[in-house]
């Protein structure tokens, strides 16, 4: 990840979790911080035409990880395979809520529900999932996941489509 992109992600993280200007006296306690990659695969390829699409998402949280007092759980990963009805390129900009379960190296899991924000910043697609851990390790903690990738090219959506997209991802879990 380029230095510029790292600074952008850090600035977004600080702004979104309120560390830049806290509104309460309570400080956030870092539970986990990791970077990694998220790889999305689409079958058939994702185009401008809505159609039933198998979507596989593999996330790896394995770069520069820290988890004070929980180092034995690192790294983590998540895997999702679903068929999405009427899915198209426009859905890459979807702000639909969702859930994700992270499986840690020790076999424990963290499930969180999130809301999603999507923006295009100077040709970079920024997808921010923020929410709360609902089950497993770190229940009740705040989660912030930010993925960045080159914005999809509309011409590809109109022709061959996308068989996959890969993004850099940053994960923060805070109590």
The per-residue pLDDT for 7 is: 34
DSSP secondary structure letter of residue 9: H
**Stretch among 1-5, 19-23, 74-78, 109-113 having the lowest mean pLDDT:** 19-23
Task: Give the residue-averaged pLDDT of 147-168.
Answer: 95
Task: Give the residue-averaged pLDDT of 142-166.
Answer: 95
Which of helix, strand or coil describes residue 65? strand
The per-residue pLDDT for 93 is: 87
pTM: 0.82
Which of helix, strand or coil describes residue 129? strand
Residue 10 binned pLDDT confidence (cut-offs 50, 70, 90): very low
Task: Give the residue-averaged pLDDT of 117-132.
Answer: 95
The per-residue pLDDT for 22 is: 41
Say if residues 77 and 57 touch (Cβ distance below 8 Å): no
Say if residues 61 and 76 touch (Cβ distance below 8 Å): yes
Which pLDDT tens digit goes with each residue over 100-114?
A: 999 999 999 999 999
pLDDT averaged over every residue in the chain: 87
Is the pLDDT confidence value at 57 over 80? yes
Task: Give the residue-averaged pLDDT of 133-141.
Answer: 97
In angstroms, the CA 136 to CA 101 distance is 9
The per-residue pLDDT for 26 is: 59
* Best CA proximity match to 112, nearest among 168, 173, 29: 173
Is the pLDDT confidence value at 173 over 60? yes
* Best CA proximity match to 130, nearest among 119, 115, 120: 115
Which of helix, strand or coil describes residue 23? coil
Higher pLDDT, 117 or 28: 117
Which pLDDT tens digit goes with each residue over 63-103?
A: 999 999 988 999 999 999 999 999 999 998 889 899 999 99
The neighbour count for residue 122, using CB atoms within 10 Å, is 8
């Amino acid at each position: 990840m380029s230095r510029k992109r790292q600074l952008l992600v850090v600035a977004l993280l600080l702004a979104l979790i309120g560390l830049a200007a806290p509104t309460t006296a309570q400080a956030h306690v870092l539970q986990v911080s990791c970077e990694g990659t998220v790889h999305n695969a689409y079958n058939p390829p994702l185009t401008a035409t809505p159609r039933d699409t198998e979507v596989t998402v593999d996330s790896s949280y394995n770069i520069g990880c820290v988890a004070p007092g929980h180092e034995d759980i690192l790294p983590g990963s998540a895997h999702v395979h679903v068929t999405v009805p009427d899915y198209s390129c426009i859905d890459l900009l979807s702000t639909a809520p969702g859930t994700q379960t992270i499986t840690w190296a020790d076999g424990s899991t963290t499930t969180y529900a999130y809301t999603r924000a999507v923006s295009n910043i100077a040709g970079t697609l920024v997808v921010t999932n923020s929410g709360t851990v609902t089950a497993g390790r770190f229940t009740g903690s705040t989660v912030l996941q930010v993925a960045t990738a080159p914005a999809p090219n509309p011409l590809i959506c109109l022709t061959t489509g996308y068989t996959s997209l890969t993004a850099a991802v940053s994960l923060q879990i805070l109590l």
